[in-house]
Amino acid sequence: MKTTSEETTTACSPLSGLPSKKIRTLPKDFLLEQLERYYGAKPPAQIVECDYSLWQCAETGLQFCWPMRPGSADFYEWVSSFRSYYPGIRWEYNEVCRMLKAEALSNGRFPKVLDVGCGKGDFLRGLDSIPNEHKSAVDLNKPAVEACRQQGFQAYCGTLEMAMASGFIKAAEFPVVTSFHCLEHVPQPVAFVETLLQAVAPHGRLFLSTPYSPMSFEDDWFDIMNHPPHHMTRWNLNAYRRLAEMVGAKIRWFVPPTSALSQALNAFRLLHYGPHRNVSKPKLLNDLLGNFLEFLRFYQKQLNRKSNNGGISADVILIELTIS
């Protein structure tokens, strides 16, 4: 893909006005090939609409794609047809549930919770200590919204702006707003967070989560699902701190416990077998023994990742934003 003068002058970080650095080109044919390798099925050509490139913010290290053109409805219809697309449960779901349950037990009050990008309601369903009438959901996916309604949640199909304009939710209504793995999908992340904060009640909290990029295995295995047209941005702690500064919020962050051994094993499995494939323990052990030096290289990378990454080795991060 050729780099045009227009691309060079307009590819700008959402977090900084300084010139950004181009990392690599991501041609349409390459992205389609990677989708086919990931899912084991040939994708329709139209689900990737253009060539992309990957850039890095000079001030924060945020990586972002250009153009900032999210996946189309056809793209999401195709990827969401695979059972592996919706994870069902995430570490950050449990972490926020744990915090909210502990607070409800201590003060006897149930907060109203709004989950934006709710999917099929996996997070809200886990809040079993909070009554359903206190749970609201917003998503663009009609079947997902219907699934939330069937579980007794108040759910709206559309954007958060549309939900507010329609009166489905009110400004400053919710002590807790969550949006898990949505920020990386949107072309204007700062504006997206500002809109989310409009729904947060005074002294309330907004929880966000994204992959922590580059993830531990990405030096050795290309993750198409952490690149366009699926993800527009790739977040790190410096980028989140700048985001909090831009929206005038205080920030706390949380990451799951990890080990260099488990991450090295994950990188090995991805490189040798690909994603979503079950491999027997005897075969894995045999392959590890036959490729032991390669595994040691993966292990050393994970040890270096934590020391070179501000103490963070996890592949996901949970952010809490509060505004006085």
Below-50 pLDDT ranges, the chain: 1-8
pLDDT at 47: 97
318 vs 11: CA distance, rounded Å? 27
Domains and CATH numbers, the chain: 5-85 (no CATH), 91-257+317-322 (3.40.50.150), 260-308 (no CATH)
Q: Tell how strand 154-157 and strand 135-139 pair up.
A: parallel
Whether the model clears a pTM of 0.75, i.e. scores above it, the answer is yes
Nearest CA to 57 among 18, 91, 5, 24?
18
pLDDT at 4: 42
pLDDT at 9: 52
pLDDT at 255: 96
pLDDT at 108: 74
Q: Which residues contact 259 (CB under 8 A, 6 or more apart)?
A: none
pLDDT at 102: 85
pLDDT at 25: 97
